[in-house]
C-alpha cells in the first residue's frame, strides 16, 4: 500500500465498534491518514474523542455541524477519500446505502465518493440472514461495493453465529487489496 492514502472510516452503531479503534491504529501503521465519520447512533456506544485521539484527526459526526469555514463537508470528505471503509456496518447503514438514502453525514459521503467503498457488516445472525438485508448486500455488490465478512463467532446476544465483524487483520488485508 502506498504511504499517505486517505481512508474515511465510517463507524455505525454496532457492539463491534471497539474493533474500529484497532482498525484506525493498524491503518496508521500502514501509513494511512484516517478520518472517522460516525453516525449519531454510534456515539451512544463510544465517544468521538476516542477516535480523534487515535487518529489525530477531527471526527466528523453531524451533517449540519458548524463549519470552520464554508465547506460542503460531505463533498470534501468524499473527494479526499482514496477508500471509504465502513466498519462496523449495521443492517441499518447497509439498507440506507442500498436505498440511496442520504440522511446523515456518512451516507452522504458514501453516495458522493468516487473512491472504492468497502463494507464490513456486523450484526446478529438473524439480522444478517434476513432476506431484505441479503438483497441489499447483493444489490450493493452488483453496483461495485465491496464487502469483507462477516464471520462466525460469539455475538452480543451470547449466541454463536454468523454476523461477527471480520477480523481486523482481514479487513486491513482487504483495504490493501483495494488501494
157 catalytic per annotation: yes
Residue closest to 27 by CA, chosen among 60, 49, 56: 56
Which residue range is the domain that position 57 belongs to? Answer: 6-178
Of the residues 21, 108, 157, 164, only one is catalytic, namely 157
Q: How confident is the model at residue 77 (pLDDT cuts 50, 70, 90)?
A: confident
Say if 19 falls within a structural domain.
Answer: yes
For the stretch 87-135, pLDDT in tens is 999 999 999 999 999 999 999 999 999 999 999 999 999 899 999 999 9
Q: Which pLDDT value is given to residue 3? A: 64
* Cell output for 48: 468521538
User: Is pLDDT above 60 for 8?
Assistant: yes
Q: Which pLDDT value is given to residue 28? A: 93
User: Is pLDDT above 80 for 1?
Assistant: no
User: Is pLDDT above 60 for 71?
Assistant: no
Say if 1 falls within a structural domain.
Answer: no
Say if 93 falls within a structural domain.
Answer: yes
Q: How confident is the model at residue 137 (pLDDT cuts 50, 70, 90)?
A: very high
Say if 45 falls within a structural domain.
Answer: yes
Q: Which residues contact 81 (CB under 8 A, 6 or more apart)?
A: 6, 7, 8, 109, 113, 115
Domain count, the chain: 1
Say if 111 falls within a structural domain.
Answer: yes
Cα distances (angstroms) measured from residue 142 to each of 7, 57, 97, 117: 23, 33, 13, 13
User: Is pLDDT above 80 for 160?
Assistant: yes
Instruction: Give the residue-averaged pLDDT of 65-89.
Output: 74
Which CB contacts under 8 angstroms, 24+ apart, belong to 56-65?
A: 57/33, 59/35, 60/35, 60/36, 60/105, 61/37, 61/105, 62/104, 62/105, 63/103, 63/104, 63/105, 63/108
In the chain, where do the E strands start and end? 6-11, 33-38, 83-89, 117-121, 146-147, 151-154, 160-164
Cell 451516507 locates to 107
| Residue 133, domain CATH | 3.40.50.1950
Q: How confident is the model at residue 70 (pLDDT cuts 50, 70, 90)?
A: very low
For the stretch 11-62, pLDDT in tens is 999 989 999 999 999 999 999 999 999 999 988 888 989 999 899 889 888 7
Amino acid at each position: 500500500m502506498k504511504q499517505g492514502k486517505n481512508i474515511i472510516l465510517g463507524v455505525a452503531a454496532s457492539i463491534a465498534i471497539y474493533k474500529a479503534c484497532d482498525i484506525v491504529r493498524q491503518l496508521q501503521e500502514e501509513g494511512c491518514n484516517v478520518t472517522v465519520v460516525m453516525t449519531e447512533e454510534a456515539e451512544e456506544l463510544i465517544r468521538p474523542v476516542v477516535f480523534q485521539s487515535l487518529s489525530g484527526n477531527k471526527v466528523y459526526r453531524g451533517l449540519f455541524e458548524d463549519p470552520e469555514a464554508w465547506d460542503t463537508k460531505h463533498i470534501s470528505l468524499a473527494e479526499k477519500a482514496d477508500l471509504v471503509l465502513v466498519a462496523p456496518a449495521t443492517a441499518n447503514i447497509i439498507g440506507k446505502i442500498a436505498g440511496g438514502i442520504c440522511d446523515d453525514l456518512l451516507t452522504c459521503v458514501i453516495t458522493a465518493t468516487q473512491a472504492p467503498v468497502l463494507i464490513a457488516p456486523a450484526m446478529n445472525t438473524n439480522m444478517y440472514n434476513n432476506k431484505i438485508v441479503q438483497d441489499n448486500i447483493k444489490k450493493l455488490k452488483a453496483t461495485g461495493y465491496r464487502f469483507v465478512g462477516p464471520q462466525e463467532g460469539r455475538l452480543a446476544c451470547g449466541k454463536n453465529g454468523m454476523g461477527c465483524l471480520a477480523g481486523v487483520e482481514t479487513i486491513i488485508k482487504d483495504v490493501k487489496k483495494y488501494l
